[in-house]
């Protein structure tokens, strides 16, 4: 879901969209660092990565991918998992923090879209729709249990040490594996399932509103 068509059709909306999209990936990383600090690891804090300053977070390639492909990333927040208290629950919480943040951003965007304050035919509606879609994609993609994605760390929390070591060994090749699986189409059913799961979770939030 690239944004090239929006840039061509409505440049003003494209540039207005830049701020919420950049901070969607930044918020994802800050969430990892904040939750890690709650569990006793201040590595991200000492590295200056809990800042809202985009300069310390943005990855050039990840930023270009975000705007021209529809999925991108910021620089990963450093976490020293050996510092985490209650290690299994901490690992799960830190790993899910970014995805949950993206889901919350998408839920807020969808809520605003359904409110009377947003005209369905306005630029605001277009921006909120894109913010919701891309944050759901960010959440779904990161839940895939392939290193270095967040879902792999959640899975590792339930694996024996030998299997954890095996996943750690393939992490340097993880993005190549993901690209191959995307190219062959094998990941699309997984992404579709996670997309529907997130939509279901967002729908549940309206029960409590």
pLDDT tens, position by position, 40-91: 999 999 999 999 999 999 999 888 888 777 678 899 999 998 899 878 899 9
Average pLDDT, the chain: 89
For residue 58, the Cα-to-chain-centroid distance in whole angstroms is: 14
Output the pLDDT for position 183.
87
Q: Where are the domains of the chain?
A: 4-208
What are φ and ψ of residue 157, in 5° steps?
A: -65, -20
Output the pLDDT for position 73.
87
Output the pLDDT for position 25.
94
pTM above threshold 0.75: yes
Cβ neighbors of 37 (< 8 A, separation 6 or more) are 44, 45, 50
Dihedral sign for Cα 175, 179, 181, 186, please: positive
DSSP 58: B
CA angle, 116 then 121 then 122, to 5°: 80
Output the pLDDT for position 207.
61
Mean pLDDT value across residues 202-207:
76
CB 57 within 8 Å of CB 24 = no
Which residue from 66, 73, 75, 97 is spatially nearest to 84, judged by alpha carbons? 97
Output the pLDDT for position 120.
86
For residue 207, the Cα-to-chain-centroid distance in whole angstroms is: 24
Mean pLDDT value across residues 175-203:
91
29 flagged as catalytic: yes
CA–CA distance, 69 with 180 (Å, rounded to integer):
16
Annotated catalytic residue: which of 29, 126, 162, 171?
29
Mean pLDDT value across residues 189-209:
84
Output the pLDDT for position 44.
96
Bigger pLDDT: 15 vs 193: 193
Output the pLDDT for position 209.
54
pLDDT tens, position by position, 138-188: 999 999 999 999 999 999 989 888 888 888 899 889 889 998 998 899 999
């Amino acid at each position: 879901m690239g944004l090239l068509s929006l840039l061509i059709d409505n440049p003003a909306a494209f540039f207005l969209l830049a701020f919420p999209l950049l901070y969607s990936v930044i918020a994802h990383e800050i969430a990892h660092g904040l939750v890690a600090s709650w569990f006793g690891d201040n590595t991200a804090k000492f590295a200056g990565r809990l800042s809202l300053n985009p300069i310390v977070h943005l990855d050039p390639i990840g930023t270009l991918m975000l705007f021209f492909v529809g999925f991108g990333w910021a620089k990963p927040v450093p976490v020293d998992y050996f510092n985490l208290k209650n290690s299994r629950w901490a690992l799960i919480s830190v790993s899910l923090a970014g995805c949950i943040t993206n889901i919350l951003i998408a839920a807020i965007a969808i809520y605003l879209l359904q409110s009377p304050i947003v005209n369905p035919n306005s630029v605001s509606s277009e921006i909120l729709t894109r913010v919701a879609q891309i944050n759901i994609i960010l959440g779904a993609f990161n839940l895939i249990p392939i290193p270095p994605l967040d879902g792999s760390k959640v899975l590792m929390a339930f694996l024996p040490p030998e299997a954890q070591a095996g996943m750690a060994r393939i992490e340097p090749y993880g993005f190549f594996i993901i690209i191959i699986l995307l190219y062959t189409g094998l990941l699309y059913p997984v992404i579709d399932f996670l997309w529907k799961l997130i939509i279901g979770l967002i729908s549940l939030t309206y029960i409590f509103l």
